[in-house]
């Protein structure tokens, strides 16, 4: 039953890209991986790069849904997991929801087979949520730790 839940939620949210990355965003994991990794969209475009030093860079143009699950209701908007209030995020010079950058790193790491464990990827999200001052960071992290396996397993290596 739960194996199909992940597939159903992925289909349900397939048209819920709420965010569009306007410029590259990088996060230093401080965990070296030994070599560079590049992940593409299947059309020759790089979506994410992980340097051998452990810096994850999500490329401009990446689209994602933020915190899951949520569904789009026509032109009305979205219902589902909130992405937090707007926050002036460190040096980024732009107002974004508090979960914006955490989910920007987390979503493609779940999409592609990355050289990090699910526990590490979830921790990256938590760190970015906490940096943004998101008061529910620990709660969201706990939920992702309990349910993330539905979306993580059986990922194929999809390097560009």
Among 63-67, 95-99, 111-115, 149-153, name the one with the lowest average pLDDT: 149-153
Distance between CA atoms of 101 and 92, rounded to whole angstroms? 10
Residue 25 has a pLDDT of: 96
Residue 158 has a pLDDT of: 43
Residue 87 has a pLDDT of: 66
**What is the chain's Cα-based Rg?**
15
> 142 near 135, Cβ under 8 Å?
no
> 21 near 104, Cβ under 8 Å?
yes
The angle that helices 100-111 and 118-131 make with each other, rounded to 10 degrees, is: 170
Q: How far is CA 93 from CA 21, 84, 85, 99, in A?
A: 14, 18, 16, 16
Distance between CA atoms of 50 and 120, rounded to whole angstroms? 14
Distance between CA atoms of 157 and 160, rounded to whole angstroms? 10
Residue 80 has a pLDDT of: 67
Residue 114 has a pLDDT of: 95
Given a cut of 50, is residue 159 above it in pLDDT?
no
Residue 154 has a pLDDT of: 47
State pTM to two decimals: 0.79
- Count of all residues that appear for the chain in the document: 160
Among 9-13, 69-73, 150-154, name the one with the lowest average pLDDT: 9-13
Given a cut of 90, is residue 9 above it in pLDDT?
no
Given a cut of 50, is residue 11 above it in pLDDT?
no
Given a cut of 60, is residue 6 above it in pLDDT?
no
Given a cut of 90, is residue 103 above it in pLDDT?
yes
Given a cut of 50, is residue 88 above it in pLDDT?
yes
């Amino acid at each position: 039953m739960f194996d199909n839940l992940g597939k159903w939620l992925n289909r349900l949210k397939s048209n819920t890209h709420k965010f569009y990355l306007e410029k590259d965003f990088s996060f230093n994991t401080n965990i070296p991986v030994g070599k560079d990794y590049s992940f593409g969209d299947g059309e020759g475009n790089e979506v994410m790069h992980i340097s051998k030093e452990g810096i994850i860079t999500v490329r401009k143009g990446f689209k994602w849904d933020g915190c899951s699950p949520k569904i789009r209701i026509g032109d009305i908007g979205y219902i589902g997991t909130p992405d937090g209030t707007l926050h002036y995020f460190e040096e980024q010079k732009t107002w974004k929801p508090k979960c914006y950058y955490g989910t920007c790193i987390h979503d493609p790491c779940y999409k592609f087979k990355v050289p990090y464990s699910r526990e590490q990827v979830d921790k990256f999200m938590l760190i970015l949520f906490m940096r943004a001052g998101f008061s529910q960071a620990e709660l969201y992290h706990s939920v992702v730790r309990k349910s993330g396996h539905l979306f993580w397993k059986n990922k194929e290596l999809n390097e560009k």
